[in-house]
Amino acid sequence: MKGKCYIQGLAAITPQHTFEGNLFSQPLVSTGANVFAVTEPDYKTFIPANSLRRISRLLKMGLTTALKCMQDSGLSVPDAIVTGTGKGSLQDTERFLKDIRQYEERALNPTPFIQSTYNAVNGMIAVQQQVTTYNNTFVHRGFSFESALLDSMLLLEEGASHTLTGAFDEISAEHFYIKSRIGHWKKEMVNSAALYDHLTPGTISGEGAVFFTLTAAPTTQSYARVAGLKMLYKPSLTALTTGLATFLSQHGLSAKDIDLVITGRNGDNNFEHYYRQLDLGLPQVSQLPFKHLCGEYETAGAFALWLGAHMLKAQQVPQQWFPMVSQFPATLNRILIYNHFFGDQHTFILLERTAAPAV
Protein backbone atom coordinates (compact mmCIF):
# COMPACT_ATOMS: atom_id res chain seq x y z
CA MET A 1 0.00 0.00 0.00
CA LYS A 2 1.29 3.45 -0.98
CA GLY A 3 -0.48 6.48 0.25
CA LYS A 4 -0.94 10.15 0.98
CA CYS A 5 -0.90 9.73 4.70
CA TYR A 6 0.70 12.24 7.05
CA ILE A 7 1.09 12.02 10.81
CA GLN A 8 -0.31 15.28 12.12
CA GLY A 9 -0.47 14.42 15.82
CA LEU A 10 0.54 11.59 18.11
CA ALA A 11 0.54 10.46 21.73
CA ALA A 12 1.71 7.41 23.61
CA ILE A 13 1.44 5.80 27.02
CA THR A 14 4.23 3.24 27.19
CA PRO A 15 6.75 1.86 29.70
CA GLN A 16 8.96 4.86 28.84
CA HIS A 17 8.11 8.44 29.84
CA THR A 18 6.41 9.13 26.53
CA PHE A 19 3.19 10.87 27.53
CA GLU A 20 4.56 14.25 28.54
CA GLY A 21 7.73 16.23 28.14
CA ASN A 22 10.49 16.09 25.59
CA LEU A 23 11.28 12.49 24.70
CA PHE A 24 14.83 13.43 23.68
CA SER A 25 15.66 14.22 27.31
CA GLN A 26 13.72 11.41 29.00
CA PRO A 27 15.87 8.77 30.72
CA LEU A 28 15.76 5.15 29.64
CA VAL A 29 13.33 3.18 31.84
CA SER A 30 14.20 -0.48 32.27
CA THR A 31 12.82 -3.51 34.09
CA GLY A 32 14.32 -6.72 35.38
CA ALA A 33 11.01 -8.52 35.77
CA ASN A 34 10.43 -9.66 32.15
CA VAL A 35 7.14 -7.71 32.27
CA PHE A 36 7.27 -4.12 31.10
CA ALA A 37 4.32 -2.15 32.50
CA VAL A 38 3.38 1.31 31.20
CA THR A 39 4.13 4.51 33.08
CA GLU A 40 0.60 5.78 33.71
CA PRO A 41 -0.18 9.50 33.69
CA ASP A 42 -2.76 11.27 35.86
CA TYR A 43 -5.98 10.45 34.02
CA LYS A 44 -8.10 12.97 35.93
CA THR A 45 -7.23 15.82 33.59
CA PHE A 46 -8.62 13.88 30.63
CA ILE A 47 -11.51 11.78 31.93
CA PRO A 48 -14.41 12.99 34.14
CA ALA A 49 -14.24 11.55 37.67
CA ASN A 50 -17.63 9.87 37.33
CA SER A 51 -16.42 7.91 34.28
CA LEU A 52 -12.96 7.29 35.67
CA ARG A 53 -14.25 5.28 38.60
CA ARG A 54 -15.91 2.79 36.30
CA ILE A 55 -13.48 2.24 33.49
CA SER A 56 -10.62 -0.20 33.64
CA ARG A 57 -6.91 0.30 33.05
CA LEU A 58 -6.68 -0.31 29.30
CA LEU A 59 -9.70 1.88 28.60
CA LYS A 60 -8.14 4.70 30.61
CA MET A 61 -4.88 4.26 28.69
CA GLY A 62 -6.57 4.14 25.29
CA LEU A 63 -9.02 6.98 25.84
CA THR A 64 -6.43 9.29 27.41
CA THR A 65 -3.90 8.64 24.63
CA ALA A 66 -6.54 9.30 21.99
CA LEU A 67 -7.57 12.59 23.63
CA LYS A 68 -3.96 13.71 24.02
CA CYS A 69 -3.29 12.83 20.38
CA MET A 70 -6.21 14.97 19.23
CA GLN A 71 -4.94 17.81 21.42
CA ASP A 72 -1.53 17.46 19.78
CA SER A 73 -3.02 17.74 16.31
CA GLY A 74 -5.65 20.36 17.14
CA LEU A 75 -8.37 18.06 15.84
CA SER A 76 -11.46 17.20 17.90
CA VAL A 77 -13.77 15.44 15.42
CA PRO A 78 -11.90 13.00 13.16
CA ASP A 79 -13.50 11.64 10.00
CA ALA A 80 -12.88 8.14 11.32
CA ILE A 81 -11.75 6.35 14.48
CA VAL A 82 -9.77 3.25 13.57
CA THR A 83 -7.88 1.14 16.08
CA GLY A 84 -6.21 -2.20 16.55
CA THR A 85 -5.80 -4.35 19.62
CA GLY A 86 -4.49 -7.84 20.09
CA LYS A 87 -6.30 -8.63 23.31
CA GLY A 88 -8.61 -5.77 24.30
CA SER A 89 -9.14 -5.21 27.99
CA LEU A 90 -7.69 -8.28 29.69
CA GLN A 91 -8.57 -6.96 33.13
CA ASP A 92 -12.28 -6.87 32.24
CA THR A 93 -12.21 -10.16 30.35
CA GLU A 94 -10.61 -11.94 33.28
CA ARG A 95 -12.98 -10.34 35.80
CA PHE A 96 -16.00 -11.31 33.73
CA LEU A 97 -14.81 -14.92 33.31
CA LYS A 98 -14.02 -15.23 37.02
CA ASP A 99 -17.47 -13.88 37.89
CA ILE A 100 -19.12 -16.44 35.60
CA ARG A 101 -17.35 -19.16 37.54
CA GLN A 102 -17.77 -17.69 41.01
CA TYR A 103 -21.45 -16.83 40.67
CA GLU A 104 -22.31 -19.87 38.55
CA GLU A 105 -23.42 -17.82 35.55
CA ARG A 106 -25.86 -15.74 37.62
CA ALA A 107 -25.72 -12.17 38.96
CA LEU A 108 -23.18 -11.02 36.40
CA ASN A 109 -22.01 -7.43 36.52
CA PRO A 110 -22.53 -5.79 33.09
CA THR A 111 -19.59 -3.37 33.22
CA PRO A 112 -16.68 -5.84 32.78
CA PHE A 113 -18.59 -7.49 29.94
CA ILE A 114 -19.21 -4.18 28.15
CA GLN A 115 -15.59 -3.11 28.59
CA SER A 116 -14.14 -6.47 27.62
CA THR A 117 -15.42 -6.00 24.07
CA TYR A 118 -12.62 -4.98 21.74
CA ASN A 119 -14.29 -1.82 20.48
CA ALA A 120 -14.95 -0.38 23.95
CA VAL A 121 -12.13 2.19 23.65
CA ASN A 122 -13.44 3.39 20.29
CA GLY A 123 -16.92 3.68 21.74
CA MET A 124 -15.69 5.78 24.64
CA ILE A 125 -13.74 8.11 22.35
CA ALA A 126 -16.83 8.53 20.16
CA VAL A 127 -19.09 9.24 23.14
CA GLN A 128 -16.69 11.66 24.79
CA GLN A 129 -16.00 13.57 21.55
CA GLN A 130 -19.55 13.24 20.19
CA VAL A 131 -18.22 11.64 17.00
CA THR A 132 -20.68 9.63 14.92
CA THR A 133 -18.44 8.89 11.94
CA TYR A 134 -16.78 5.65 10.80
CA ASN A 135 -15.63 3.64 13.79
CA ASN A 136 -13.78 0.36 13.54
CA THR A 137 -11.49 -1.84 15.65
CA PHE A 138 -9.28 -4.55 14.16
CA VAL A 139 -8.35 -7.61 16.21
CA HIS A 140 -5.86 -9.59 14.14
CA ARG A 141 -3.11 -10.56 16.59
CA GLY A 142 0.19 -9.18 15.22
CA PHE A 143 -1.59 -7.43 12.35
CA SER A 144 -4.09 -5.57 14.55
CA PHE A 145 -2.48 -2.13 14.42
CA GLU A 146 -1.24 -2.57 10.87
CA SER A 147 -4.77 -3.43 9.71
CA ALA A 148 -6.04 -0.25 11.38
CA LEU A 149 -3.27 1.69 9.65
CA LEU A 150 -4.08 0.13 6.28
CA ASP A 151 -7.78 0.90 6.72
CA SER A 152 -6.92 4.50 7.63
CA MET A 153 -4.70 4.89 4.58
CA LEU A 154 -7.49 3.55 2.36
CA LEU A 155 -9.98 5.97 3.95
CA LEU A 156 -7.62 8.87 3.29
CA GLU A 157 -7.22 7.71 -0.32
CA GLU A 158 -11.01 7.62 -0.67
CA GLY A 159 -11.42 11.20 0.48
CA ALA A 160 -11.40 11.31 4.27
CA SER A 161 -9.51 14.38 5.50
CA HIS A 162 -8.25 12.81 8.69
CA THR A 163 -8.45 9.74 10.87
CA LEU A 164 -7.73 9.01 14.50
CA THR A 165 -5.75 5.79 14.33
CA GLY A 166 -4.34 3.90 17.26
CA ALA A 167 -3.49 0.73 19.10
CA PHE A 168 -3.69 -0.45 22.69
CA ASP A 169 -2.81 -3.60 24.58
CA GLU A 170 -2.17 -4.51 28.19
CA ILE A 171 -0.58 -7.43 29.99
CA SER A 172 -1.95 -9.04 33.14
CA ALA A 173 -0.29 -11.46 35.56
CA GLU A 174 -2.68 -14.20 34.43
CA HIS A 175 -2.03 -13.63 30.74
CA PHE A 176 1.72 -13.44 31.32
CA TYR A 177 1.52 -16.85 32.98
CA ILE A 178 -0.57 -18.37 30.17
CA LYS A 179 1.81 -17.11 27.48
CA SER A 180 4.81 -18.29 29.49
CA ARG A 181 3.42 -21.83 29.16
CA ILE A 182 3.80 -21.62 25.38
CA GLY A 183 7.29 -20.19 25.56
CA HIS A 184 6.65 -16.55 24.77
CA TRP A 185 8.79 -15.20 27.62
CA LYS A 186 12.34 -15.86 28.71
CA LYS A 187 12.74 -18.32 31.56
CA GLU A 188 15.68 -16.39 33.02
CA MET A 189 15.15 -12.87 34.36
CA VAL A 190 16.67 -10.31 32.02
CA ASN A 191 17.24 -6.60 32.39
CA SER A 192 15.33 -4.99 29.51
CA ALA A 193 18.23 -2.62 28.77
CA ALA A 194 20.42 -5.66 28.03
CA LEU A 195 17.70 -7.60 26.16
CA TYR A 196 19.74 -8.13 23.00
CA ASP A 197 22.68 -9.60 24.91
CA HIS A 198 20.49 -12.54 25.91
CA LEU A 199 19.78 -14.40 22.70
CA THR A 200 17.80 -17.24 24.27
CA PRO A 201 14.27 -18.62 23.76
CA GLY A 202 11.50 -16.12 24.50
CA THR A 203 11.46 -12.38 25.07
CA ILE A 204 10.03 -9.87 27.56
CA SER A 205 6.38 -8.91 27.73
CA GLY A 206 5.12 -5.38 27.20
CA GLU A 207 2.11 -3.15 26.73
CA GLY A 208 1.14 0.31 25.57
CA ALA A 209 -1.33 2.66 23.92
CA VAL A 210 -0.33 4.79 20.93
CA PHE A 211 -2.54 7.05 18.80
CA PHE A 212 -1.96 9.08 15.65
CA THR A 213 -3.94 11.70 13.84
CA LEU A 214 -3.44 10.93 10.16
CA THR A 215 -4.24 13.43 7.44
CA ALA A 216 -4.42 13.35 3.65
CA ALA A 217 -2.41 16.55 3.28
CA PRO A 218 0.74 17.70 5.07
CA THR A 219 1.09 20.84 7.15
CA THR A 220 4.12 22.54 8.64
CA GLN A 221 3.31 20.67 11.86
CA SER A 222 3.32 17.19 10.30
CA TYR A 223 5.67 14.69 11.89
CA ALA A 224 6.21 12.40 8.90
CA ARG A 225 4.58 10.72 5.96
CA VAL A 226 3.54 7.08 6.10
CA ALA A 227 4.65 6.31 2.58
CA GLY A 228 4.05 2.59 2.48
CA LEU A 229 2.85 -0.49 4.33
CA LYS A 230 3.25 -4.16 3.57
CA MET A 231 2.12 -7.16 5.58
CA LEU A 232 3.42 -10.70 5.11
CA TYR A 233 1.88 -13.71 6.85
CA LYS A 234 4.30 -16.48 7.84
CA PRO A 235 6.75 -15.76 5.00
CA SER A 236 9.65 -18.07 4.27
CA LEU A 237 13.06 -16.40 4.45
CA THR A 238 13.05 -16.20 0.66
CA ALA A 239 9.59 -14.62 0.62
CA LEU A 240 10.75 -12.12 3.24
CA THR A 241 13.75 -11.10 1.14
CA THR A 242 11.64 -10.85 -2.00
CA GLY A 243 8.95 -8.98 -0.07
CA LEU A 244 11.45 -6.37 1.13
CA ALA A 245 12.96 -5.89 -2.34
CA THR A 246 9.52 -5.56 -3.93
CA PHE A 247 8.37 -3.14 -1.25
CA LEU A 248 11.38 -0.88 -1.75
CA SER A 249 11.20 -1.00 -5.55
CA GLN A 250 7.47 -0.16 -5.49
CA HIS A 251 8.54 3.12 -3.89
CA GLY A 252 11.42 3.62 -6.29
CA LEU A 253 13.93 2.94 -3.54
CA SER A 254 16.85 0.68 -2.83
CA ALA A 255 18.63 -0.15 0.42
CA LYS A 256 20.96 2.88 0.08
CA ASP A 257 17.96 5.24 0.23
CA ILE A 258 17.02 4.05 3.73
CA ASP A 259 18.71 6.07 6.47
CA LEU A 260 17.60 3.96 9.39
CA VAL A 261 15.81 0.68 10.09
CA ILE A 262 13.76 0.31 13.27
CA THR A 263 13.63 -3.41 13.94
CA GLY A 264 11.45 -5.47 16.24
CA ARG A 265 14.42 -7.57 17.43
CA ASN A 266 13.55 -8.90 20.85
CA GLY A 267 16.30 -11.27 21.98
CA ASP A 268 14.23 -14.36 21.11
CA ASN A 269 16.53 -16.82 19.36
CA ASN A 270 13.50 -18.72 17.96
CA PHE A 271 12.87 -15.86 15.53
CA GLU A 272 16.21 -14.08 15.24
CA HIS A 273 16.78 -15.60 11.79
CA TYR A 274 14.18 -13.25 10.28
CA TYR A 275 16.12 -10.22 11.47
CA ARG A 276 19.39 -11.69 10.22
CA GLN A 277 17.75 -12.17 6.84
CA LEU A 278 16.74 -8.49 6.91
CA ASP A 279 20.34 -7.53 7.69
CA LEU A 280 21.40 -9.25 4.45
CA GLY A 281 18.90 -7.22 2.45
CA LEU A 282 19.89 -3.91 4.07
CA PRO A 283 23.69 -3.99 4.45
CA GLN A 284 25.35 -0.87 5.86
CA VAL A 285 22.03 0.62 7.01
CA SER A 286 21.91 1.81 10.64
CA GLN A 287 19.50 -0.07 12.85
CA LEU A 288 17.65 0.72 16.06
CA PRO A 289 15.90 -2.05 17.96
CA PHE A 290 12.92 -0.92 20.05
CA LYS A 291 11.60 -3.86 22.08
CA HIS A 292 13.86 -3.00 25.03
CA LEU A 293 11.74 0.17 25.31
CA CYS A 294 8.25 -1.32 25.26
CA GLY A 295 8.47 -5.11 25.43
CA GLU A 296 6.72 -7.50 23.05
CA TYR A 297 2.99 -7.36 22.39
CA GLU A 298 0.64 -7.60 19.43
CA THR A 299 0.52 -3.87 18.65
CA ALA A 300 4.13 -2.97 19.47
CA GLY A 301 4.52 -1.83 15.84
CA ALA A 302 2.61 1.33 16.79
CA PHE A 303 5.41 2.20 19.22
CA ALA A 304 7.95 1.91 16.40
CA LEU A 305 5.86 4.20 14.21
CA TRP A 306 5.55 6.72 17.05
CA LEU A 307 9.32 6.64 17.59
CA GLY A 308 10.13 6.94 13.90
CA ALA A 309 7.75 9.87 13.41
CA HIS A 310 9.30 11.77 16.32
CA MET A 311 12.81 11.17 15.00
CA LEU A 312 11.96 12.31 11.48
CA LYS A 313 10.38 15.53 12.71
CA ALA A 314 13.15 16.36 15.19
CA GLN A 315 15.92 15.04 12.93
CA GLN A 316 17.51 13.36 15.90
CA VAL A 317 17.55 10.07 17.76
CA PRO A 318 16.89 9.87 21.51
CA GLN A 319 20.39 8.45 21.93
CA GLN A 320 20.05 7.93 25.67
CA TRP A 321 17.51 5.19 24.90
CA PHE A 322 20.00 3.24 22.78
CA PRO A 323 23.16 2.57 24.80
CA MET A 324 23.75 -0.53 22.66
CA VAL A 325 24.06 1.54 19.46
CA SER A 326 27.33 3.33 18.76
CA GLN A 327 26.59 5.21 15.52
CA PHE A 328 23.53 7.17 14.51
CA PRO A 329 22.72 8.61 11.08
CA ALA A 330 23.38 12.34 10.64
CA THR A 331 20.22 13.00 8.63
CA LEU A 332 16.94 11.18 8.53
CA ASN A 333 14.84 11.23 5.39
CA ARG A 334 13.52 7.69 5.25
CA ILE A 335 12.99 5.16 8.00
CA LEU A 336 11.98 1.57 7.39
CA ILE A 337 10.21 -0.27 10.21
CA TYR A 338 10.37 -4.05 10.19
CA ASN A 339 8.58 -5.96 12.90
CA HIS A 340 7.00 -9.37 13.33
CA PHE A 341 4.95 -11.05 16.03
CA PHE A 342 6.42 -14.40 17.01
CA GLY A 343 7.26 -15.24 13.40
CA ASP A 344 3.67 -15.13 12.13
CA GLN A 345 2.71 -11.57 11.20
CA HIS A 346 5.50 -9.56 9.51
CA THR A 347 5.23 -5.88 8.63
CA PHE A 348 7.22 -3.30 6.68
CA ILE A 349 6.31 0.37 7.15
CA LEU A 350 8.06 3.10 5.19
CA LEU A 351 8.19 6.47 6.92
CA GLU A 352 9.41 9.60 5.17
CA ARG A 353 10.33 13.03 6.34
CA THR A 354 7.49 15.34 5.28
CA ALA A 355 9.80 17.35 3.05
CA ALA A 356 12.04 14.47 2.03
CA PRO A 357 14.10 15.15 -1.09
CA ALA A 358 13.12 13.04 -4.07
CA VAL A 359 15.20 9.99 -4.85
* One of 21, 110, 159, 283 touching other proteins (CB under 8 A): 110
Our finding on whether 48 is near other proteins (CB under 8 A) is no
Between 94 and 257, CB nearer to other proteins? 94
| Residue 261 CA: distances (Å) to CA of 129, 143, 288, 337 | 36, 19, 6, 6
Task: Verify binding: residue 101, other proteins, rule CB under 8 A.
Answer: no
Q: How far apart are the C-alpha atoms of 273 and 275, rounded to whole Å?
A: 5
106 binds other proteins (CB under 8 A): yes
- Give residue 95's identity as a one-letter amino acid code: R
**Residues 107, 182, 330, 358: which binds other proteins (CB under 8 A)?**
107
Separation of alpha carbons 223 and 311, rounded Å: 9
Among 103, 237, 250, 319, binds other proteins (CB under 8 A): 103
CB of 114 to other proteins, least distance (A): 8
Compare residues 49 and 358 and give the one whose CB is closer to other proteins: 49
Q: How far is the CB of 43 from other proteins (least distance, A)?
A: 12
Does 358 contact other proteins by CB under 8 A?
Answer: no
CB of 53 to other proteins, least distance (A): 4
Which CB, 109 or 320, lies closer to other proteins?
A: 109
Residue 54 or 98 with smaller CB distance to other proteins:
54
For residues 115-142, one letter each, b for 16 or more C-beta atoms within 10 angstroms of the residue's C-beta and e for the rest, the string is: bbebbbbbbbbbeebebeeebbbbbbeb
For other proteins, the closer CB: 112 or 318: 112
Query: What does the per-residue mask of binding to other proteins show for 112-151, with x meaning CB under 8 A?
Result: --x-------------------------------------
Only segment of 51-59, 157-165, 223-231, 235-243 that touches other proteins (CB under 8 A): 51-59
182 binds other proteins (CB under 8 A): no
Residues 272-311, mask of contacts with other proteins (x by CB under 8 A):
----------------------------------------
Considering the complex, state which of residue 53 and residue 181 has its C-beta at the smaller distance from other proteins: 53
C-beta separation of 190 from 140 below 8 A: no
Q: Do the bridges between strand 260-263 and strand 80-84 make them parallel or antiparallel, or are there none, so unpaired? A: unpaired
Q: Pick one of 26, 71, 111, 354: the residue that binds other proteins (CB under 8 A).
A: 111
Which residues, in sequence order, are bridge partners of residue 163? 214
Interaction residues for other proteins, span 219-278 (CB under 8 A): none
Q: Which of residues 160-179 bind other proteins (CB under 8 A)?
A: none
Phi-psi region of 176 (alpha: psi -120 to 50; beta: other; left: phi over 0): alpha
| Number of residues binding to other proteins, judged by CB under 8 A | 13
Write phi, then psi, for 217 (nearest 5 degrees): -130, 145
Question: Binding segment for other proteins among 104-112, 253-261, 286-294, 322-330 (CB under 8 A)?
Answer: 104-112
Interface residues toward other proteins, by CB under 8 A: 49-50, 52-54, 103, 106-111, 114
